[in-house]
Chain A
Amino acid sequence: DVKVTQSSRYLVKRTGEKVFLECVQDMDHENMFWYRQDPGLGLRLIYFSYDVKMKEKGDIPEGYSVSREKKERFSLILESASTNQTSMYLCASSPEGWRQPQHFGDGTRLSIL
């Protein structure tokens, strides 16, 4: 089974802090994704990466950046956390190729105070 592991289940940070969310997958997938999930809005794509050191903006990249130094690890960075970034963050991965399902981790619930 695909295993996508997010380093923290719950995280509480303060406004203005730099926040790192970590994600590791063990299936040698090329593609990795970061989403946020908010009630009534569904999952929204923040950033994704299709290879090491490669990244592309998703639908809501403002206020975020990402890093992919190794194939198995994809980090989401909140440069200066704000209260409107309080959310559930979900990481996913998928293999290379067209029409492949994404597999998700269990999420990090981030609260910005």
Chain B
Amino acid sequence: GESVGLHLPTLSVQEGDNSIINCAYSNSASDYFIWYKQESGKGPQFIIDIRSNMDKRQGQRVTVLLNKTVKHLSLQIAATQPGDSAVYFCAVLRGGGNKLTFGTGTQLKVEL
């Protein structure tokens, strides 16, 4: 089955710097990927998604990069703000249905 791993459990950045959160997946047939943000006491919030026919997708202050060759995706947050402090998860769609496999999350801490 699919497995999803995040590279760092915790990431600390200075306010204003760019943040990069990484995720690796195991199934080369995976074709849809999502990043979620979870603030303390809340449910995961959809940030951005990307399909396997794309290498890059941009949103507001966020960019997702997908490298299918090494089965890796990353979330880049530009000009990180205190409100970006949260746990970030990647999720990968399993083949043939609507089930997602989630990584365990990276805690992003923004230092003032």
Collect the chain A residues with CB atoms within 8 Å of residue B41's CB.
Answer: 106
Find the B residue at minimum CB distance from A4: B43
For chain A residues 56-113, which have a beta carbon within 8 Å of chain B? Answer: 58, 90, 92, 94, 98-107
Assuming the contacts A103-B46, A107-B43, asked whether A42 and B98 have C-beta atoms less than 8 A apart, the reply is no
Collect the chain A residues with CB atoms within 8 Å of residue B103's CB.
Answer: 42
Q: Does B45 sit at the interface, judged by CB under 8 A? A: yes
For chain A residues 20-61, which have a beta carbon within 8 Å of chain B? Answer: 31, 40-43, 45, 48, 50, 58
Collect the chain B residues with CB atoms within 8 Å of residue A50's CB.
Answer: 98
Q: Does B102 sit at the interface, judged by CB under 8 A? A: yes
A103 to B49, CA, bound (A): 12
Assuming the contacts A99-B31, A99-B93, asked whether A42 and B49 have C-beta atoms less than 8 A apart, the reply is no
A58 to B100, CA, bound (A): 10
Report B9 CB to chain A, min CB distance, Å. 9
3 closest cross-chain pairs (CB), A and B? A104-B43, A99-B32, A43-B102
10 contacts between A and B (CB under 8 A): A4-B43, A42-B4, A42-B89, A42-B105, A45-B100, A100-B98, A104-B43, A106-B42, A106-B43, A107-B42
